């Protein structure tokens, strides 16, 4: 029985690629140095999978940024602003598209389906001149072959690529991206032909958009694309891989009817109904790559249950046509549990990271072939039983409190307009008030202090003193820049990465466990270390009150208390899979509610409860949206339903498409929302142009912090003017897109200075116009 891995983490067990990329971007190392690190990582991954007995090993799943940008490069679909003149796309053009450069901004970045991974959105139009401009897929296949490893090259399928794209600036929004199919298929044919010539026997097309709600025209595009590719694919075994959800009956019918296709990869973890479609109708002689090992969570597979599922499918598709696989790429999990030296043995026995999932896949394949490793299965069964019965998983008081939430919608007593009036009397802010989102640059020295404190190398007093000094520096800088509502910069979370506050809060909540090296790629070189929610959640003591009060004592200006919201903590963690997600979310909401009320008692008048990942958790199927949004929005409201009218509640949301959930955002009933806007060509503003009325404060980001580029005062003022065209002056806030931790002070200071200058410039203009 054969085994298959959809994809594998790229960063390396110790984030080797991250550090190589950042060294290259900082001009501290050469392109050759970067290439060597990448080649060593690929070699290690391929040999690991080969050594574990995996038959179908993927290649071309390694990326310096993301696989969609790699496909954009393959197709030569470079926006004109990057001045690419043809030929093989090099690092300068590739990374300029991803990160921007001194002259032009980066392309838009958004979430990869409902994950915390991101991709660079292709910008396409009728005038794009496609050409074969990156031979990466072929080069990496040859590289593996030279190492003695026969791989399955993986490409983003042509239809999914177009469906994940957007019309370029200046192109009509009604432009049919699928009309470009005849223009990109010839490039795919060139790549396929080269792979065949290089000796490939299998090829994998990832077509994850097949799990979305597609209309008949979109489904027909799949049929047309693979009919066109059929002759070129002749002689190859072709796998179409789908993941993250069930297929609709219509999409499944389209999939199994595609010309020239040998095998179908299905997610049987999140696609809980898909196996029913297989049992009703599976084409004779085709392969089923059954994704039974979860590629998106870190819990050990229930091998006995998975084996039972596989045996039922084997009876339908045939013994020699069933391949055991992961549900999706293992990119979304941590790399190797072996690197975790601080997790206790009980919790560790419940887990499986990418390396362990490879072993699970092969163990299931062997068991299906009659070579069951009884000791391995027995150990797995014992771990499953331990997790179900462990007293550390269940807290009766927490469950009772969460159950009591039912029956109330937990809204604040006064409407937002009246609250804003009360808050303005207390805060006395100017029009177009300026603020930042939370974090400030995390220096090497700051990370050292945090690391040494965690390692017990410095005392708690020394640690607190160092953090207080950093807070004072950040407060002074904001006062010098004349920012209106301040933040303390989150230095207490400085050792961490993008979801640092999620881990910071998780460390202080019961029911959470933490890894040392459980890093997962979020985008580019950015990695996150998601906490593991293994049990019922509660707050033993106050978490941020000391730091927020300390910061407020340093200034007369309003200081924001900074919290992460329950939905974001949920979506940026590895969540227990033994109860519904909404139950866990309600437990977290109650813990955050306690913290909000303690901050208010401590004199913090502005409290930001970030829900950066609320949109990210939206199910891929529209039929499931309403239920998710109901409990997600309710969870947010629970956190702040008890505060006074004069306490201003902010929230923040990161990169995502918000237009389709704007009414749910309004229903959150926050006083102020800050939201990504700058990298998406002000896409968010179109909602307000279309007549949606928003009465709360809103701060669509005025510049992109994920790029090192420093925007001018004029550029920021122009963005604010676009906002003022559709939003009332008295509700508009001026702020960056996101937190500043990933940037350097030499980038942050001039950017914020220009931001404040733009706000003041427009205040003067608005005052003179009265």
pLDDT in tens, 226-278: 999 999 999 999 999 999 999 999 999 999 999 999 999 999 999 989 999 99
Please report, in range form, the residues annotated as the binding site for L-homocysteine. Answer: 610
Which residues have a Cβ under 8 Å from the Cβ of 549 and sit 6 or more positions away?
Answer: 602, 603, 604
Q: What pLDDT, on a 0 to 100 scale, did the predictor assign at position 676?
A: 79
Give the position of tokens 């947010």: 636
- Please give the average per-residue pLDDT across 331-350, as a whole number: 95
Q: Is the pLDDT of residue 689 over 80?
A: no
- Backbone φ and ψ of 497, nearest 5°: -120, -140
Query: Please, which residues have CB within 8 angstroms of residue 283's CB and are 6 or more apart in sequence?
Result: 256
- Contacting residues for 476 by C-beta, under 8 A, at least 6 apart: none
Q: Which residues are annotated as a binding site for 5-methyltetrahydropteroyltri-L-glutamate?
A: 18, 116, 526-527, 572
Q: What is the pLDDT of residues 566-595, one digit of tens each?
A: 999 999 999 999 999 999 999 999 999 999
For the cut 70, the answer to whether the pLDDT of residue 679 exceeds it is no
Q: Which helix (H) or strand (E) holds 513?
A: strand 510-513
In CATH, 2-10+55-389 is 3.20.20.210: yes
The mean-pLDDT minimum among 14-28, 37-51, 645-659 falls in 645-659
As separate numbers, helices (DSSP H) first and strands (DSSP E) second, the chain gives 27, 22
Q: Please give the pLDDT value at position 656.
A: 56
pLDDT value at position 177? 98
**Residue 616 has what pLDDT?**
86
Is pLDDT of 690 > 80? no
Q: Per-residue pLDDT averaged across 100-109, rounded?
A: 91
pLDDT band at 64 (very low <50, low <70, confident <90, very high): very high
Alpha helices in 234-349 (DSSP H): 249-256, 274-280, 303-317, 345-349
Q: Across residues 678-688, what is the average pLDDT? A: 66
Average pLDDT, rounded, for the chain: 93
Residue-level pLDDT at 494: 44
Q: Residues forming the annotated binding site?
A: 18, 116, 437-439, 490, 526-527, 572, 610, 652, 654, 663, 667, 676, 738
pLDDT at position 197 is 98
The stretch 621-632 carries a mean pLDDT of 95
Q: DSSP code of 585?
A: H
Residue 495 is predicted with a pLDDT of 37
As a whole number, mean pLDDT of residues 309-333 equals 97
Reported as a pLDDT band with limits 50, 70 and 90, residue 678 is low
Beta bridge partners of 167: 124
Domain spans in the chain, listed from the N-terminal domain onward: 2-10+55-389, 415-440+557-653+663-769
Q: Quote the CA–CA distance of 419 and 469 in Å, as a whole number.
A: 35
Q: Could you read off the pLDDT of 422-468 as tens digits, one per residue?
A: 999 999 999 999 999 988 998 888 888 888 887 889 998 999 999 99
Buried b (16+ CB within 10 A) or exposed e, 254-281: bbbebebbbbbbbbbbbbeebbebbeee
What pLDDT score was predicted for residue 498?
39
Mean pLDDT of 365-373: 96
Q: Which residues on neighbouring strands pair with residue 206, listed in sequence order?
A: 156, 241
The Cα–Cα gap between 471 and 494 comes to 12
Asked whether the CA dihedral 561, 562, 563, 567 is positive or negative, the reply is positive
* Catalytic machinery residues: 706
- For residue 15, the surrounding DSSP H or E stretch is none
The arithmetic mean of pLDDT across residues 333-361, rounded, is 96
Output the 3-class SS for 643-662: CCCCCEEEEEECCCCCHHHH
Taking residues 372-386, what's their average pLDDT? Answer: 97
Query: What's the distance, CA 61 to chain centroid?
Result: 17
Question: What's the rounded mean pLDDT across residues 627-633?
Answer: 96
pLDDT band at 726 (very low <50, low <70, confident <90, very high): confident
Task: Say what percent of the chain tops pLDDT 70.
Answer: 97
| pLDDT in the model for residue 503 | 72
How many Cβ atoms from other residues are within 10 Å of residue 505's Cβ? 25
- In this prediction, residue 655 has a pLDDT band, given cuts at 50, 70 and 90, of low
> Is 2-10+55-389's fold the same as 415-440+557-653+663-769's?
yes
- The one-character DSSP state at 112 is S
Q: Give the side-chain half-sphere CA count within 13 A for 122.
A: 27
d(CA 99, CA 710): 12
Q: Name the nearest CA neighbour of 248 among 620, 553, 763.
A: 620
- Is the CATH code 3.50.50.60 the one for domain 415-440+557-653+663-769? no
CA distance 191 to 222: 18
pTM here is 0.91
């Amino acid at each position: 029985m054969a085994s298959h891995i959809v994809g594998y983490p790229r960063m390396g067990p110790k984030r080797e690629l991250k550090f190589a990329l950042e060294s290259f971007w900082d001009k501290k190392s050469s392109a050759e140095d970067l290439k060597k690190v990448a080649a060593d990582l690929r070699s290690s991954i391929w040999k690991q999978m080969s050594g574990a007995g995996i038959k179908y090993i993927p290649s071309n799943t390694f990326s310096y940024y993301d696989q969609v940008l790699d496909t954009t490069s393959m197709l030569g679909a470079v926006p004109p602003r990057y001045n690419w003149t043809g030929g093989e796309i090099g690092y300068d053009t590739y990374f300029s598209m991803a990160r921007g450069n001194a002259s032009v901004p980066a392309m838009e970045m958004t979430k990869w389906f409902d994950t915390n991974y991101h991709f660079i959105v292709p910008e396409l139009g009728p005038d794009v001149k496609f050409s074969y401009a990156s031979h990466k897929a072929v080069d990496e296949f040859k590289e593996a072959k030279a190492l003695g490893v026969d791989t399955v090259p993986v490409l983003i399928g042509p239809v999914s690529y177009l469906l994940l794209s957007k019309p370029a600036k200046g192109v009509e929004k009604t432009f049919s991206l699928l009309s470009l199919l005849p223009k990109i298929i010839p490039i795919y044919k060139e790549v396929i032909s080269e792979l065949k010539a290089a000796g490939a026997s299998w090829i994998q097309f990832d077509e994850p958009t097949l799990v979305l709600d597609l209309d008949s025209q979109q489904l027909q595009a799949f049929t047309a694309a693979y009919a066109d590719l059929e002759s070129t694919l002749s002689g190859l075994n072709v796998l179409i891989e789908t993941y993250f959800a069930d297929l609709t009956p219509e999409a499944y019918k389209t999939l199994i009817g595609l010309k020239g296709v040998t095998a179908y990869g299905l997610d049987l973890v999140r696609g809980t109904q898909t196996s029913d479609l297989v049992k009703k109708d599976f084409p004779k002689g085709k392969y089923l790559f059954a994704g039974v090992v979860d590629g998106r969570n870190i819990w050990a597979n229930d091998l006995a249950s998975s084996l039972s599922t596989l045996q039922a499918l084997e009876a339908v598709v045939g013994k020699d046509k069933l391949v055991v696989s992961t549900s999706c790429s293992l990119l979304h999990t941590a790399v190797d549990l072996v690197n975790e030296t601080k997790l206790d043995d009980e919790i560790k026995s419940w887990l499986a990271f990418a390396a362990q999932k490879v072993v699970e896949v092969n163990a299931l394949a062997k068991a299906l072939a009659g070579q069951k490793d009884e000791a391995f299965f027995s150990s797995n069964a014992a771990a499953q039983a331990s997790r179900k019965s462990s007293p550390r998983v269940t807290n009766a008081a927490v469950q009772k409190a969460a159950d009591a939430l039912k029956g109330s919608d937990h809204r604040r007593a006064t409407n937002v307009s009246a609250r804003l009036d009360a808050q303005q009397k207390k805060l006395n802010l100017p029009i177009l008030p300026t603020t930042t989102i939370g974090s400030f640059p995390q220096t090497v020295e700051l990370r050292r202090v945090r690391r040494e404190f965690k390692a017990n190398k410095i005392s708690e007093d020394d640690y607190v003193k160092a953090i207080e000094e950093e807070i004072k520096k950040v407060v002074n800088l904001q006062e010098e820049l004349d920012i209106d509502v301040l933040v303390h910069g989150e230095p207490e979370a400085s050792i961490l990465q993008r979801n640092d506050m999620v881990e910071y809060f998780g460390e202080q909540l019961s029911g959470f466990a933490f890894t040392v090296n459980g890093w997962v790629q979020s985008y580019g070189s950015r990695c996150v270390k998601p906490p593991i929610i293994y049990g019922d959640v509660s707050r033993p003591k106050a978490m941020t009150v000391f730091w927020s009060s300390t910061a407020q004592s340093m200034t007369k200006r309003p200081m924001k208390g900074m919290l992460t919201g329950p939905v974001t903590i949920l979506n940026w963690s590895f969540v227990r899979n033994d109860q519904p997600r909404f139950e866990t979310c309600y437990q977290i909401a109650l813990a955050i509610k306690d913290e909000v009320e303690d901050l208010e008692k401590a004199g913090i008048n502005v409290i930001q409860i970030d829900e950066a990942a609320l949109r990210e958790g939206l199910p891929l199927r529209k039929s499931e949206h309403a239920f998710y949004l109901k409990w997600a929005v309710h969870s947010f409201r629970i956190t702040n339903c008890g505060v006074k009218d004069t306490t201003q509640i902010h929230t923040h949301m990161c990169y995502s498409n918000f237009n389709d959930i704007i009414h749910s955002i309004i229903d959150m009933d926050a006083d102020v929302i800050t939201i990504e806007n700058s990298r998406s060509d002000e896409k968010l503003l179109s909602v307000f142009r279309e007549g949606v009325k928003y009465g709360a404060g809103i701060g669509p980001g005025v510049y992109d912090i994920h790029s090192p580029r420093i925007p001018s005062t004029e550029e920021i003022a122009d963005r604010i003017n676009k906002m003022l065209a559709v939003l009332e002056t008295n509700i508009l806030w001026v702020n960056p897109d996101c937190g500043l931790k990933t940037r350097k002070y030499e980038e942050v200071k001039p950017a914020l200075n220009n931001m404040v200058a733009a706000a003041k410039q427009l205040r003067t203009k608005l005052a003179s116009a009265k």
